[in-house]
Each structure stands twice: as structure tokens, then as C-alpha cells.
Structure 1
Amino acid sequence: MSDATNPYDASHIQVLEGCEAMRKRPGMYVGSTTERGLHQMVFDLAGRAVNEVLAGRASSVDVTLMPDGGVRVTDDGPGIPIEGNDGGPGLEEFLTRMYPGTLPCGRHAVAMSLFGIGPCVTNALSSRLTAEVRREGVLWFQEYARGVALTPPTADGQTNGSGTTISFWPDTDIFGTAECSFDVLSERFREVAFLNHGLAVSLTDERPQAGPRSVRFQYPGGVRELVTLLDAEAAPPVHPDVIGFECDEPGMAGTVEVALRWSGSHDDRVRGYANSEPTPEGGTHVAGFRDGVVAAINSYARKSRLLAEAGPALGADQIGQGLTAVVSVKLDHPEFSGSTRGKLGGGTSVHAGMEGAVVEHLGIWLEEHPEQAAAIVGRIGQGAGRH
């Protein structure tokens, strides 16, 4: 077909911006127009509240699934500024404009948004959204329809407390009859609470006819408690204590938190996380962890004469049998491999930092707990056919 019969030039290119673009191609911003996309809308909104707690400006986050299909997210922080300050967006800008790069990031923040764009996505894909801000003694209110403000932020009386409550109703023209899953949301919020032991998140479901159900996630023990949970259905543990440590690693510009324990199971259950995001495909942090465990176990076994000095070293597969571990890094500048962010990159610095931390801290623990250490090495040796 010739250009004359099918002309196409720059005038045919349709440029979509902001709310219009998000509503035209919603899957690009929340991953799907099914239940999965609804969950991402909740996470996009809840991420701001979670980071208010981690920054010390709030104490808790409350998420409620309402009977009419809406979702309400509340925190008790200082409240979103009505007007922008210190270079940050005000309420209306925050809810209507893409702000990649201005959301909290780095080791001290949880990235729950797919692309760091912010709650404007949730607003654009909702038939209705309301914002209530309790700030400096004043209650402010604003309402939106499909991402467009119906009124400016309006003072609506006085208030004693502070915080932000945002409620949204997903647009059924986009998501049809899809509904949020209490169980899926629970799993993710519980995971984030394990990985950030200063965090408290409550999730309430007001939809069941039998009455509301509610759960609260707060784990002072951090990832050690997650290892205990993962081990609950496994064979009895080889040693009673969950081994755990947390430390700064300047070489990788971040922090390391690890917890592990061996059981009588033959399974290897190692979960990796980077900046509180799961990395099911592993990456440099998980590889460094495994190499560090192998080095620490072999070093201790030879030094304690639990392994013949001239004999072969215990291999990674042998050491991994029955191992349950949570490997979490929080980096100032995380580098993920692939668009799904399921694998952490970061080169040799992350691998070396994790490996060195595991060798040091696991080695110290083994030295300080000789009876449990002997049980671990004995279990590994037994699994490798040694007696």
C-alpha cells in the first residue's frame, strides 16, 4: 500500500498525558484491569502512609475495605500539606500529577508503587475519591471524580487530631466487577510489616454479611518472626534459636537483615527482598548470602574439627537442605534486572557486602553457640551421607 493511499505523519500521533493517559491504558500503570490492578491501587495509596510511619511522622496505618466497594486508607501523621512546601507537592498536585522521583525512596522507604508515580494513578482510575486532611487543627476536604477535582481543598471545621484519610471507589467501567481480596492484601501488608519492624498496619474488611473481620500486623522481631512462621509447617528445627542479624554495609550503600534456621526438612526455603519488595528470582543479595553461609559453615566445621581438615568441603546443596532464611537488603540505589523487578542486580558490591556480613555474623553466632552449631553441622553431614 502506497504512502499516497495511506498517509501517516506526525499529525496522526495522539499524545496522552496525565489522567487521560492512565485511563486510556490502565494496565500500563497498575499492571492489570483485574483484581491484581485493584490491589495495586491500594498499594499505591497505602505506600505513602507506610512511609509516614517509617519516617517517624505517624504511628500506624489503617486500611478498610468498605461494603460499597470503596477502600479507605488512614494514617495519623501530620497530614498532607494543603499547599506545596519545601519543593514537595500540595494535596491537589499529589493526587493529580505524576511525581516520579519525589516519592520517598532509598533504604528508609518502602516502594509499593509499581513505577514510583504515586497516588495519582489510584485517583485517575477511580470513579470517586475523597481526601480528608487533619492538619494544624483544621479539617480539610476535597472530592474527585475520575481523577478530576470537583472543588478545591476546603476547610471543613476544626479537629483535635492530625492525619490523612483517602477513600476511593474503583471505576467499574475499567475494572468491571473485580473485587479486592482480603487474603491477598493481608499477605502483602504482613510481609511489609515483617520487613520493617517499626511498622504497624491494620486491615479491616467490612463486606462480609457475618460481620467485619480485622487483622493487625506488627512484628517487633522483624524477619526472625517471619522465619518462625515459614518454619511452622516444616519438620522440627535442628536448633531452637533463629539466627539473625542486622547491620550497615557502606560498600553496598545500604543495610542487611538476615534470619535463618535449619530444620529436619529436605526443602530449601530462602526468600529474598530488596527495599521490602520480594525478589522471587533471587539476585546478588541471595547469591552473596548463600556463598557466605557455605564459607561460614565450612570454616567453623574445620576449626571445630567437626569436618576433617583434609576432607572435601560441605557443598552449597548439602548446606541448603532444610534451610529456611529471609534475606533482606535496603539500598540507597537498588538496581533490578528486568521489568518485573523480581531479581536484584547491583554488581559485585551487593554480593560482596552480603557475603562478608554473613561470614562475620554467622561465624560469631556459631562460635558462641557450640551445641547448636554442632547440631547444624551434624544435620548437614548426615544429609550428605557422613556419619
Structure 2
Amino acid sequence: MSGTAGGYDATNITVLEGREAIRKRPGMYVGSTGIRGLHQLLFEVIGRSVNDVLACGGGCVDVTLTHDGGVRVTDDGPGVPVEAAGDTSSACLETLLTRTHPGAGPGNRHTASWSVYGMGPCVTNALSSRLMAEVRRGHTLWVQEYKHGAAVAPPAATGPATGGGTSIAFWPDAGIFDTTDYSFGVLAKRFREVALLNRGLSISLTDERPPGGVRSVQFQYPDGPRDFVAFLDAETGAHVTPDIIAFDRDDARMAGTVEVALNWCGRREEGVRSFANSVPTPEGGTHADGFRTGVTAAVNTHARQRGLLTTADPDLTTDQVSRGVTAVVSVKLDSPEYEGATRGRLGGATVHDCVEQAVREHLGTWLARHPEQAAAIIDRIVQEASRN
């Protein structure tokens, strides 16, 4: 049967583009119309701000959950270029807020990714009942308002401004989302992670909604993953060795960097947290596997060299060595490879080899320089292994 005979032809096809497509199928762009999608609206906006300030070497991003159900994200970056100001060297404000940017997905070593979507603030704009953008750039304050993703008017210069930066306030569309009530706890956890993984970045979260008064937290960590391990150990109340072992290395072979911090504590289970471009990889991957291989090799080599294992003793296994380890393994790559659409597991054999070598060499050096602590760690591993 032909398409025409069946009553179906080109006139039956509706082409949706831009905000119409986003509003028609919001789940395709933010994952759901539930709380997860609601949080993604904010992540699309704060991701741009964070990367703007990181590109400048660091800075502040302030997020406020307003009493009227909106969210305001303000940064002290250079300010989004405004077309009316004559600066067209990069994407202007209206382009940023009305066109998707799917190429931003996994990010690169100089950016902090926030999700598997990475479509940009235009998605937030399209799925909000209202959005207000303010840009401080070129000593001028520019303002533009949107409703349901459409500009009310072009950007307008409203007066002088000091410094640079961008502020975007939006109100999620209650006709699209099941809830517009943001979770302070979920946001604080994610903001803390990103701040811990990116030195020089400050993220604050203020909640104006509680009837008992405003609550606010700020996250800034000068020592990166080292601070992350200290935080994880403090959460569990675990007994730790005096020093947290931490290092970072650039490696051209994997076109990126690796940062590692680890500690042996009194717990019996392993606690390794892995990240790729600041996004958690809950299923691990080649960076986490390379870390475990490197730690095992360094411990066995040191134990053999110092006579802590006899020639009759078998090598310690990865499971034995990793028991009781708290660690953060963070790689930042120009072109990360993932296994699966959800990007829960990192791929790439080169990443495994680079991380393994870096861990083996740096941990081996630390063990050699701290023989008493190394002996105590290995003795604990051996004793635990003998009981199992």
C-alpha cells in the first residue's frame, strides 16, 4: 500500500525545532519531568558559569533558591558576550539561550561536566515559565527577559556595571514538571563534589525558602582530591594514617590529567570514588582499574624490596591491597570514551595504562620515603589477608 493510498503523506509530518521541540519532549533533553529533570535545569545553567570562571583560573559561582520558586545563578566570570554590544567573537547571549549545544556533552580537560546531556542553558530557558538574564560586560549592565523560552525584547543596556559576570534567574514551568521544589541536600552534595575536584572554584548555595530563615553553604577546597579523601574519611569516622597520599600528572598519551588521593583506614571495605571530567563514574572504568592495578604493584614491589614478604609468600592480591582504602581517582580528558549511553563507566585502554603507571610510580616513591608507615600499612594488609 502506498503512503498516499493510506492517507499518509508529507502533510502529516510536523517538524519541531528549538524550544517547541524541547517543550514537546522535555525528557529527551533533561531526562525526566520529575525531580531529576528539575535539577538538570539548574545543572545546565551552573555548568556554563562554572566553566566560565574555570577558564579564567577560578572564581565564584553563587546559586540561590528564591522564596518565589525560582533559581538564580550568578558568576564573576567575564560575562556572556552581548550581540548588541558589538562583541560577536563568541556565542552571544541570545544564541546561548535559544540554541542547543549538543557538542558540549562529555566536555574536555578544561571543563567540568554536569551530566550526560550537556545541551546548554537554552533547555532551561525553554522549560521555564520565565527567565531573566543580566550580563556585566564592558562596564555596562545588559538585561534581557524571556517567557516560555521566547525573548520579550532584545538585550537592553540599563546602566553602568563594575567588573564582569553573568546572572541567570529562571522559574521552572509548573505545567511541565511534576514538582518545582528543589532539594537543597541533593544540590549541596553535587556542588561539593565539583568544588572538591576543581581547585580555585568556589560554589555557594543559598536557600531563601525555609520559613525559619535563610540557610547557606559555601564550598571551596584548595587541595582538591586530598580534601575529598579527608572529607570521606571524616564522614565515616575512620582511623587513618597520618598522611593522605596525593599527586597529579599530565600525560599526553591520554590527552589529559590524572589526580589521585588515597589513604588506608580502619574499615574493611574499599571506598574508591572515581570521576571523569568531574562527573561521577559509579561503574568505575579504566581509570579506577588502573588505580587498583598501580596500587597493588607498588605495594608488592615495596614489600619484596624491604623483606616484608618472604620468597615463599605469594603476592598480595588487588582485593587484599584495596581493602580499607579510601581514594578519589579523577581524570580530566580532552576526549573521554565511555562504555554505554549513560556514561557510568569510562573506557580507553590508554587511560588504564597511564593511571596505572602514575599510581605505581608516585605511591612507590611515597612508600620508600615513609618506611615506617609503609611497614604498618603492609603489615595490616597481610594480617587481614591471613584472616580470610
Instruction: Map residues 38-53 of structure 1 onto 2, 5 A cutoff.
Output: 38-53=38-53
SS at structure 2 position matched to 1:143: strand
Residue in structure 2 matched with residue 344 of structure 1 by the alignment: 346
Instruction: Map residues 52-131 of structure 1 onto 2, 5 A cutoff.
Output: 52-56=52-56, 59-83=59-83, 85=87, 87-101=89-103, 105-131=107-133
Instruction: Return closer, same or farther for 1:238/1:100 CA change in 2, 3 Å cut-off.
Output: closer
Q: How many angstroms apart in 1 are the aligned matches of 2:161 and 2:238?
A: 53
Instruction: Return closer, same or farther for 1:205/1:250 CA change in 2, 3 Å cut-off.
Output: same
Query: For 1:260-297, what per-residue CA distance to the aligned partner results, in whole angstroms no more than 9, with x for missing partners?
Result: 11112111111110000000000110011111111111
Q: How many angstroms apart in 1 are the aligned matches of 2:81 and 2:95?
A: 10
Matched to 2:351, the amino acid is: V
Q: How many angstroms apart in 1 are the aligned matches of 2:314 and 2:67?
A: 63
Structure 1 residue 316 displacement after superposition = 1.0
Q: In terms of mean alpha carbon deviation, does 33-42 or 176-185 score higher?
A: 176-185
Q: Is the 8 A contact 2:106 2:336 kept in 1?
A: no
Instruction: Return closer, same or farther for 1:362/1:58 CA change in 2, 3 Å cut-off.
Output: closer
Structure 1 residue 317 displacement after superposition = 1.1
Q: How many angstroms apart in 1 are the aligned matches of 2:47 and 2:143?
A: 21
Structure 1 residue 197 displacement after superposition = 1.4
Instruction: Return closer, same or farther for 1:57/1:272 CA change in 2, 3 Å cut-off.
Output: closer
Q: How many angstroms apart in 2 are the aligned matches of 1:210 and 1:233?
A: 27
Q: How many angstroms apart in 1 are the aligned matches of 2:87 and 2:134?
A: 19
Structure 1 residue 77 displacement after superposition = 1.6
4+ long deviations beyond 4 Å:
1-6, 84-87
Structure 2 gap segments, 5+ residues each: none
Matched to 1:384, the amino acid is: A
Q: How many angstroms apart in 2 are the aligned matches of 1:249 and 1:327?
A: 15
Structure 1 gap segments, 5+ residues each: none
Residue in structure 2 matched with residue 252 of structure 1 by the alignment: 254
Structure 1 residue 3 displacement after superposition = 6.6
Matched to 2:120, the amino acid is: G
Q: How many angstroms apart in 2 are the aligned matches of 1:350 and 1:113?
A: 21
- Which one of the candidate residues 286, 289, 296 is aligned to 2:288? 286
Residue in structure 1 matched with residue 365 of structure 2 by the alignment: 364
Matched to 1:278, the amino acid is: P
Instruction: Map residues 1-387 of structure 1 onto 2, 5 A cutoff.
Output: 6-56=6-56, 59-83=59-83, 85=87, 87-101=89-103, 105-234=107-236, 236-346=238-348, 348-385=349-386
Structure 1 residue 235 displacement after superposition = 6.0
Q: Is the 8 A contact 1:318 1:384 kept in 2?
A: yes
Structure 1 residue 6 displacement after superposition = 4.2
Q: In terms of mean alpha carbon deviation, does 26-35 or 170-179 score higher?
A: 170-179
SS at structure 2 position matched to 1:244: strand
- Between the aligned residues of both structures, percent identity stands at 60
Cα RMSD, aligned residues only: 2.0
Q: In terms of mean alpha carbon deviation, does 62-71 or 83-92 score higher?
A: 83-92
Q: How many angstroms apart in 1 are the aligned matches of 2:129 and 2:332?
A: 36
Q: How many angstroms apart in 1 are the aligned matches of 2:298 and 2:93?
A: 51
Matched to 1:326, the amino acid is: V
Structure 1 residue 160 displacement after superposition = 2.3
Normalising by structure 2, report the TM-score: 0.95
SS at structure 1 position matched to 2:243: coil
Q: How many angstroms apart in 1 are the aligned matches of 2:189 and 2:20?
A: 32
Instruction: Return closer, same or farther for 1:69/1:148 CA change in 2, 3 Å cut-off.
Output: same
SS at structure 1 position matched to 2:386: coil
SS at structure 2 position matched to 1:200: strand
Instruction: Return closer, same or farther for 1:96/1:297 CA change in 2, 3 Å cut-off.
Output: same
SS at structure 1 position matched to 2:72: strand
Q: How many angstroms apart in 2 are the aligned matches of 1:157 and 1:190?
A: 35
Structure 1 residue 59 displacement after superposition = 1.7
Q: How many angstroms apart in 2 are the aligned matches of 1:285 and 1:367?
A: 24
Structure 1 residue 98 displacement after superposition = 1.4
Q: How many angstroms apart in 2 are the aligned matches of 1:222 and 1:338?
A: 28
Q: Is the 8 A contact 1:129 1:143 kept in 2?
A: yes
Matched to 1:295, the amino acid is: A
Structure 1 residue 339 displacement after superposition = 1.4
Normalising by structure 1, report the TM-score: 0.95
Instruction: Return closer, same or farther for 1:103/1:159 CA change in 2, 3 Å cut-off.
Output: farther
Q: How many angstroms apart in 2 are the aligned matches of 1:154 and 1:60?
A: 25
Instruction: Return closer, same or farther for 1:104/1:261 CA change in 2, 3 Å cut-off.
Output: closer
Q: How many angstroms apart in 1 are the aligned matches of 2:271 and 2:103?
A: 34
Structure 1 residue 188 displacement after superposition = 0.3
Q: Is the 8 A contact 1:238 1:376 kept in 2?
A: no
Instruction: Return closer, same or farther for 1:203/1:106 CA change in 2, 3 Å cut-off.
Output: same
Q: Is the 8 A contact 2:203 2:220 kept in 1?
A: yes
Q: How many angstroms apart in 2 are the aligned matches of 1:57 and 1:379?
A: 42
